Amino acid sequence: MSDPFAIEPYLRSVSARVAAGLTGLVESRRDVAPARLVDAMRYALLGGGKRLRPALILASCEAHGGDASDPSLAMRFALSMECVHTYSLVHDDLPAMDDDDLRRGRPTVHVAFDEATAVLVGDGLQSLAFAHLLAAPEPGAAGLARLLADNALLMVEGQQRDIEAEHRTLTEPEVLQLMVTKTGALLAAAVTGGARCAGADAAAVYPVGLKLGLAFQMADDLLDLTADTATLGKRAGKDAAAGKATLPSLLGAEATRARAEGLLAEALAALSPLGPRAAALRALARYVIERKK
């Protein structure tokens, strides 16, 4: 039975808090950096989105008994994580990569501005993420920065695997390795980092986050096959058109959904001992595979 937790209002609340924090972060460069770069960074950061990674950080922190308020280390980590995630989207959308012209229902950064600026936006957001995180007075910030850096590197490695896999058939272990690195790593880091902010054992939490990361990517690949562009806010069907290596292309949609639901069940079982304070985290876990975009 599902927890009686209203996930949409929770996500809206997190999104508003994160948007306010990101606005302050990027505007701190307003009188220092070129205005066009600041405008483009703001465009990239404040274009909507689910804010799933920040939500997972804050919910995981709360689930493990920590402080997830706006001045907390968890929120600082959430803002840094969203900067890294956004930089990856800006670079992935470039013509040299996935060549997307639509993201979150708006023109991508390189379309709204230009390609060179989009490259610099990604570079700037990555630097801003670590500068913000390492400015924290708490001693745990350095460990969180290492967690973020390690998993961001896995994400980059996954993107390279994705490029190399186009129009060739991968084995199931190869597809899973691609998914673990390209998408799963940052989501796992979000769940782990939130728990770490609360003093929990990161090594015990990371596998749970990775299960959710894999389930998220499976759901994303299924949405690419079944949802329309207006609903997704990005071009639907582009993975199949590009010959991307996905689990649905290998196993079929039904088997992929069953695999995602199995991972969700395992994650929920691992979260069960945390009790009522993990209600938001459990609801987010379900949202990972039940979302429509």
For 145-194, how does the pLDDT look when each residue is reduced to its tens digit (9 = 90+)? Answer: 999 999 999 999 999 999 999 878 899 999 999 999 999 999 999 999 99
> Is the residue at 213 inside a domain?
yes
**For the segment 10-55, what is each residue's pLDDT rounded down to a tens digit?**
999 999 999 999 999 999 999 999 999 999 999 999 998 899 999 9
> Is the residue at 90 inside a domain?
yes
pTM score, whole prediction:
0.93
> Is the residue at 1 inside a domain?
no
Q: Tell me if 106 sits within 8 A of 112, measured CB to CB.
A: yes
**For the segment 68-126, what is each residue's pLDDT rounded down to a tens digit?**
999 999 999 999 999 999 999 999 999 999 999 999 889 999 999 999 999 999 999 99
Q: Give pLDDT, residue 20.
A: 98
> Is the residue at 2 inside a domain?
no
DSSP string for 126-182: HHHHHHHHHT-SSTTHHHHHHHHHHHHHHHHHHHHHHHHHTTSPPPHHHHHHHHIII
Range of the domain at 57: 7-290
What does the mean pLDDT of the chain come to? 93
DSSP string for 44-84: HHTS----HHHHHHHHHHHHTT---STTSHHHHHHHHHHHH
> Distance between CA atoms of 218 and 216, rounded to whole angstroms?
5
What CA dihedral angle connects 35, 37, 43 and 45, to 10 degrees?
-120
> Is the residue at 89 inside a domain?
yes
Q: How far is CA 42 from CA 81, 122, 141, 145, in A?
A: 16, 12, 25, 23
> Is the residue at 109 inside a domain?
yes
> Is the residue at 133 inside a domain?
yes
Number of domains in the chain: 1
Q: Tell me if 113 sits within 8 A of 98, measured CB to CB.
A: no
As a whole number, mean pLDDT of residues 222-229 equals: 76
Q: Give pLDDT, residue 166.
A: 85
**For the segment 228-262, what is each residue's pLDDT rounded down to a tens digit?**
565 556 565 566 556 678 999 899 999 999 999 99
> Is the residue at 154 inside a domain?
yes
CATH code at position 106: 1.10.600.10
